[in-house]
Amino acid sequence: MNLIIDVGNTLVKFAVFEQDRIVEKHAITSEGFLNFFKTIIKKHRNIDKCIVSSVAKLMTDDVGYVQKKLNTLILNSETKLPFKNLYKTPKTLGVDRIALVCASVEQFPDKNVLIIDAGTCITYDFINTKNEYLGGAISPGIRLRYQSLHNLTANLPLLETEMPENSIGNSTASSIHSGVVFGILKEIDGVIEDYQEKYSDLTVILTGGDAYFLSKQLKNSIFANSNFLLEGLNFILEYNSH
């Protein structure tokens, strides 16, 4: 069994894999990391390998404890990967983006794949039929857009995410919902169409915390998979175990 630990900007995700199947997953705050780790390895005593992917800071002591208890791979720019990385600054490529590309290599081999991760940020990552990672884009996610409108202006309220009924907002609240949500939907559809012009046989994956909220409204054909990053991390762990 494998333990996958994904430390994101908002939450820490734990997933237990038996081969390529998730048998258990949880999302917790970083404050409860160590206690939860102890609980999960006690519950699943046959976990023998672990991978830690962190885009946020995890306490050195916490990482050290994990390494002491399990055979642990810390994902970074030096990790052996199953694709050719053509990013000009490979050391700055986020480990979350690396994991997503690896998931596409395993599940959609030899295809042109655009992976869209709708989380705190929206990331776009592209790998071609030659197994070459070319790069992509990073843009603010849904919550960042709501928060920016509130934090950087004097009078705009902070709203909870809501699907607008109409693109024409007739109040401040409905105008914000329209601008944020429809703006993101138009952005994603526009990016997909731009890639489709260059790559007619494009496969598009949508993942991340906001994937299902957005997927119903997108006009382009996509695969929505909220576990794509976790599956990529499990694949990296297995790929580095042989």
CA-wise closest residue to 162 among 148, 152, 173: 173
**CA–CA distance, 153 with 138 (Å, rounded to integer):** 23
Angular region, 144: left φ>0, alpha ψ -120 to 50, beta rest: alpha
- The answer to whether the beta carbons of residues 148 and 129 sit under 8 Å apart is no
Please provide residue 132's backbone torsions phi and psi, each rounded to the nearest 5 degrees. Answer: -110, 125
Pairing of strands 202-207, 112-118: parallel
Name the catalytic one among 6, 96, 117, 125.
Answer: 96
Active site residue 6: no
Which pair of tokens denotes residue 21?
Answer: 């199947």
Query: Are 205 and 72 within 8 A, CB to CB?
Result: no
Which residues are marked as active site? 96
